[in-house]
Amino acid sequence: MTFAQALAAAAALGLERLDSQLLVLHLLGRPPTDRAWLLAHDADRLEPALQEAFLRLCERRAAGEPLAYIVGHKEFFGLRLAVDERVLVPRPDTETLVDWALDLLAVQSAAHVADLGTGSGAIALAIKQHRPAAQVEGVDASAGALAMARANALALGLEVTFRQASWLDATESRYDLIVSNPPYVAEGDPHLAALAHEPPGALAAGADGLRDLRTIVSQAPAHLVREGWLLLEHGFDQAEAVRALLASAGFGLVASRRDIQGIERCSGGQWLELG
């Protein structure tokens, strides 16, 4: 089987061409940026053992398993992160949250930062990479997720503290900045079917998808310094509701930011009251 024939076999299983190309490169031990090389060598042959392995990987992808789980990693904000079924696959949308956090930290680089629901550590590690003077803490209720986040921090050589807890429970700390990409999909949402391979606890949040967002907004004031910020990622249609939660809790300068598709993806506010 040539590379071209392998890609044709993957297409017959319903795979997108990009996914099949990345699977071939993964098996060959080549970087995902080598797609042009793959096209230039489309008459080269896959060894029989690699043919069988490729078809097994294609079947997993055709069954809906995320490509990142199959190859074992995902790029996020310029960082290569190990991922598996213990954590949500980092999405490009979440880079909007990181951009906003970095903007705030540009004038207070030594800030104390908490990333709630850190998962693979994507947000916390991206912040630490770009604001090395910041004291960054990643919090997650899942021991499995924290193990992966710690492994990613070690592999990247980034000093981030990780702690097991549900949101801001069991801490007396105060932060200059709290960020979170919590679960925000409503239970029963039809989109959950396409996300069946990812941890459900990192996705669904009550009947309206706002359960965990409400909890974080209610807890945050007791854990923010004066003029500290809370930034939250949320669903495509939740910006107005999250802004209302922030305003009702006493946050000022409440605003939302749009992602690369122009969707209001993150909302935040500044805590101006004395703690």
Going by pLDDT thresholds of 50, 70 and 90, the confidence category of residue 186 is confident
The structure tokens listed for 95 are 């880079």
Distance, C-alpha 183 to centroid of its chain: 11
Q: For residue 229, what are the β-bridge partners?
A: 177, 270
Same domain, 43 and 128: no
Is 244 within the bounds of a domain? yes
Is 214 within the bounds of a domain? yes
Question: Cα–Cα distance between 96 and 15 in angstroms, integer?
Answer: 29
Same domain, 41 and 80: no
Same domain, 100 and 144: yes
pLDDT tens, residue by residue, 189-232? 776 777 778 887 777 778 898 999 999 999 999 999 999 999 99
Q: What is the pLDDT of residue 206?
A: 80
pTM: 0.92
Is 125 within the bounds of a domain? yes
Same domain, 191 and 253: yes
pLDDT tens, residue by residue, 114-134? 999 999 999 999 999 999 999
Going by pLDDT thresholds of 50, 70 and 90, the confidence category of residue 274 is low
Give the domain CATH number at 145.
Answer: 3.40.50.150
- pLDDT over 90 at 177, yes or no: yes
Same domain, 50 and 170: no
Among 42, 63, 84, the domain-final residue is: 63
Is 68 within the bounds of a domain? no
Question: Cα–Cα distance between 178 and 191 in angstroms, integer?
Answer: 28
Is 69 within the bounds of a domain? no
Is 160 within the bounds of a domain? yes
pLDDT tens, residue by residue, 139-155? 999 999 999 999 999 99
Is 258 within the bounds of a domain? yes
pLDDT tens, residue by residue, 20-68? 999 999 999 999 999 999 999 989 999 999 999 999 999 999 999 999 9
Burial of 214 (0-12, 13-18, 19+ CB in 10 A): middle
Among 63, 90, 113, the domain-final residue is: 63
Same domain, 84 and 163: yes
Q: What is the pLDDT of residue 228?
A: 96
Same domain, 55 and 95: no
Same domain, 215 and 263: yes
Residue 250, C-beta contacts closer than 8 angstroms, at least 6 positions apart: 221, 271, 272, 273
Q: Which domain holds residue 24?
A: 3-63
Query: What residue type is assigned to position 221 of the chain?
Result: P
Same domain, 125 and 187: yes
Number of domains forming the structure of the chain: 2
Same domain, 155 and 265: yes
Same domain, 150 and 262: yes
Is 204 within the bounds of a domain? yes
pLDDT tens, residue by residue, 27-40? 999 999 999 999 99
HSE value, Cβ hemisphere, 13 Å, CA-based, for 82: 14
The overall average pLDDT reported for the chain is 93
Same domain, 50 and 154: no
